[in-house]
Structure 1
Amino acid sequence: MQDQQTNAQSNAQTPLQAMRLDSAAALRAHYADVVLPIWRGPGFNAALGLAYEAVAPHDHAPLPPRRYRAMACARQLFAFTDAGDLAHAATLFESLRHYFLDRRNGGWFYSVDAHGAPLERQKDLYTHAFVVFACAHYAKRSGLSDAFALLDETSRLIEARFSSGGDLLNAALAEDFGATLETPLQNPLMHLAEAWLAAREATGDAAYDRRLLQLARSVADAFVHAPSGSIAELPMGAPGNRLEPGHQFEWYFLALGSRHEAFEAAGLNEGLGRAFEFAQRHGVDPDTGGVCAAIDESGRVIDGTQRIWAQTEYLRALVTRGDAPSGQIARFGERFLHDKGWVEARSAQGDIVRAEMPSTTPYHLATSYAALTD
């Protein structure tokens, strides 16, 4: 839902009163004291055992639910596992299995309706990647055998059912995996790389090294914009392609931050160094530090919207690169955090264009803050 705000409303939304969110420790405190309690309290539907998709920015009232997505449940499972709240994480893990697991065809439904019945039944690679990611973190922290089994089963299913006939994986399939609904896209593949890195760490299984190498090579072959080293949203040559600065920063962290040999072996690392510089030069506002949504292959901004997740990826990439992020932390805190939570998106001019707070955003905050040093 897009919540258009006037400048006056925008300015009223952002004061942090006595809060000074200009250090990594301050960001983590805001997350622990302000963000997470929303999703244990008003943002959590205790009757269903699921987080609402979004809450209002002022009073945290849940937005009327139309659906609950498996990906959102998985992200919440990660967030509370990462925070060490294994009791709440256990509830989310059971909800993930209860509502979203397709016991007839295998895999995971995309969403359920407001009452918990399957709604969007397609099999979505992005969703499956987050199931693996969340289960890997939960399995490692809890030691639960069911979580280890689910991440292994889902990883095997991804390999077997999402194949496009080559090394690339399709983005979406029909409920029974019998028809391709969407051909390969960059974003699900990136999150699958993130998931398999987490699975490798949790399980120690060398099969994930092979999976990561195959994935990295397929991305290098199909998605890299050679002049800038950037990884495009669609395979190169596809009409309507775009480069997202936030994704360049995210890939930079995953590849160079993990130091996993698969990315170097696939030839991605050198290009991602250039992609970082290209995205920073063309996609980051030098005055505000705001990261825009998309640029074209020449570096021209084609979508100036500044979404919070892209800002968090920029912070993480700066740390990975060895750059001091303190100035950017302060600008991020001033523009995107407030004493009730956060601003999901601003326009290039600074107006709030999305004020409600989705349940998926704590994942971005947690992963970014974990990389920051005080």
Structure 2
Amino acid sequence: MALLEAEARWAREWLFDAALPLWWRVGSDPEGGFHEKIALSGEAVPAPRRLRVQARQVYVYVEAGRLGWPGPWREAAAHGLDFLLTCYRRPDGLFRMLVAADGTPLDDRADLYDQAFALFALAQAHRAGLGGGDLVGAAHALMDRLMSDLRHPLAGFEEALPRTLPLRSNPHMHMLEANFAWIAAGIADPFADVAREIVDLAANRLIDPATGAIGEYFDGDWRFSADTEGGVREPGHQFEWAYLLDLAGPLLGADHRQESQRLYAFGTRHGIDPARGAAVFALDAAGRVIDPRARLWAQTERLRTALVFARAAGDDSAGVDAAGIEAARAPFAAAREAFAVTRRYLDTDVAGLWRDQLLPDGSFVEEAAPASSFYHIVSAFAVLLRVATPD
């Protein structure tokens, strides 16, 4: 759509010409897997490697291929997938949390958050034609183990075995994302049933009915934690959940648009600092700022959801009068604002890197660019490119 053509052009050039080549050339390790960070001067930073980073980089390069990047996206995705399957998969079908650069296990724990990203990477790779049928088997083995070991008696999953508290909504958000990825890949069993349960859990227990905002921390029976953690609301997660609940319609046939819109409204109404124009890290239950840092990932999640609502508004404006068309432009303005903020983080001396934390005084923390953010950037820019250049 013409309203976002300039933004889409910039995003495509930044991705195709700078970021994707850099994170393959410098961000990958020829011995296996991807580095955790690249310094702002352009060199890889040696460090132990989390499963979530390898899984996210698999997605990044699979998505790059879907977007038409002419670079070696298949080689890059396979590079990360091979390291993930070789070094992180435990004999029981679950995936360990952390390994050394040479693949030696450093932390053998298997928490729900990391299992969600393993499941997500398997879906993305399978959808791209990597790994053959083995990935479907690996995903089923992982889900079977989750259902047997981490099943929560009320709904959803435990954090880990043995049980740890508080329970968190965030790992379930990524489990929903992973199950949606399998549905999108054409394999619904058992992923559609798991996704429906998580959507119902969010709608009935995780979202505060008074405000429409989703909480972060819960007791063992899915009640908001009694301490101050129970009141924490992260704007970035309002946007992520809003995006996913909007997808429940086309993927599950379940209409949760009202919850999606309330989540987005809470995040934008309370979570955007007017001085910086950026989404802050955390609020309390009433919407007051308790952590004013503005992380990059929250800006990209705001952008992605704003784009989805802009696309819907554009579709709904067909055939309406001038007043209706003008009203439909407002979500596009919100998307442009979110893009402008996101782009500030990507303004680095070495093109293709980013800054992660914007402080209350408007300055950025000087630190290496974390690879984990690339997944957030690509997921937002992929929507931008598709909204701006629809089929």
Both proteins in one fold, TM over 0.5: yes
Structure 1's 198 and 124: CA in aligned 2 closer, same or farther, altered over 3 A? same
Which one of 28, 32, 39 corresponds to residue 23 of structure 2? 39
2:343 aligns with 333
Q: How does 1:43-122 map to 2 (within 5 A)?
A: 43-47=27-31, 49-58=32-41, 60-65=42-47, 67-84=48-65, 85-103=73-91, 105-122=92-109
Which one of 131, 154, 161 corresponds to residue 142 of structure 2? 154
Q: Distance in 1 between matches of 2:248 and 2:14?
A: 27
Which one of 84, 93, 113 corresponds to residue 126 of structure 1? 113
Query: Hey, which bits of structure 1, 4+ residues long, moved more than 3 A?
Result: 260-265
**How many equivalent residue pairs?**
343
Say yes or no: does 1:255 pair with 2:265.
Answer: no
Percent identity between the aligned chains? Answer: 27
- Unaligned runs of 5+ residues in structure 2 are 66-72, 311-330
Q: CA contact under 8 A between 1:245 and 1:280: conserved in structure 2?
A: yes
Q: CA contact under 8 A between 1:69 and 1:111: conserved in structure 2?
A: yes
Q: CA contact under 8 A between 1:22 and 1:330: conserved in structure 2?
A: no
Q: Distance in 2 between matches of 1:34 and 1:50?
A: 20
- Unaligned runs of 5+ residues in structure 1 are 1-20, 174-178
Q: Distance in 1 between matches of 2:224 and 2:154?
A: 18
Q: CA contact under 8 A between 1:244 and 1:294: conserved in structure 2?
A: yes
Q: Distance in 2 between matches of 1:199 and 1:132?
A: 9
1:23 aligns with 7
Q: CA contact under 8 A between 1:228 and 1:271: conserved in structure 2?
A: no
Where relative contact order (Cα < 8 A, 6+ residues apart) is larger, the structure is 1
Q: CA contact under 8 A between 1:336 and 1:344: conserved in structure 2?
A: no
Q: Distance in 2 between matches of 1:131 and 1:26?
A: 31
Q: CA RMSD in A?
A: 2.0
Q: CA contact under 8 A between 1:36 and 1:362: conserved in structure 2?
A: no
Considering fraction of residues, name the structure with more helix: 2
Which one of 258, 263, 270 corresponds to residue 270 of structure 1? 258
Q: Distance in 1 between matches of 2:366 and 2:198?
A: 33
Q: Normalized against structure 2, the TM-score is what?
A: 0.82
Shift of 1:22: 5.8
2:355 aligns with 343
Q: CA contact under 8 A between 2:120 and 2:178: conserved in structure 1?
A: yes
2:126 aligns with 139
Structure 1's 260 and 162: CA in aligned 2 closer, same or farther, altered over 3 A? farther
Structure 1's 293 and 336: CA in aligned 2 closer, same or farther, altered over 3 A? farther
For 2:45, give the aligned amino acid: L
Aligned residue for 1:334, secondary structure, equals helix
Q: Normalized against structure 1, the TM-score is what?
A: 0.86
For 1:149, give the aligned amino acid: G
